[in-house]
Homo-oligomer: A and B are copies of this chain.
């Protein structure tokens, strides 16, 4: 069973403040929890509502009732599995491959989708501006579909990071050069901007290569969603 102090602790981790303080986060759903464990992430607590699931996840899994699960879950429809994990230390950034950097991306669904895309296209490092939505937010985790287990995420001062990086820096802009006409190297940094405002002035100042995705036919839609634009640009990087 979930004791009262655990209940309070797990609920507190729904807030970013406490995730930062305790360096812990909550993962929900069999798939996400299983992928984190398989990738070697450390679980501090594991709960399951069905016998069998607890066996698959390991001997320290506690069996609890669906009612108890609904008390600790952050979702309206709780999953059968929930784990409290240690926030991992991000590894060293590998500058010999492509890196994706996000400038003030705010929507959890977009960040989660971008993490899943990084995983698909073999991008192992995602660098986020400090004001990008936090990756251990439950809605982000849900949208990653377990991919977060395979992508290193670092939060940092983005303008300084880009200034210090000794590799080509590309950024997605509405008025950039067509990506179809741009020669893309085999390594570098791809910067994607905020949903409403794109890449900020201070980040834009340190980007040498401004690229865009050509619109087809007459101008119509004002922009692409940041996750779909990232999908298209990662495909362009990897197909070339």
Contact = CB atoms under 8 A, between A and B. Distances in A.
A interface residue count range (under 10 / 10 to 19 / 20 to 34 / 35 or more): 20 to 34
A232 B213 CA distance: 11
Contacts of A186: none
Q: Give this chain's copy count.
A: 2
A113 B225 contact: yes
A18 interface: no
B228 A147 contact: no
Contacts of A34: none
B221 A147 contact: yes
B119 A221 contact: yes
Given A120-B215, A215-B120, A239-B180, A147 B220 contact: yes
Interface of A: 109, 113, 116-117, 119-122, 145-147, 150, 180, 213-218, 220-222, 224-225, 227-229, 231-232, 235-236, 238-239
Given A116-B224, A225-B227, 9 more contacts: A116-B225, A119-B220, A120-B213, A120-B215, A120-B220, A147-B220, A216-B238, A224-B231, A227-B227
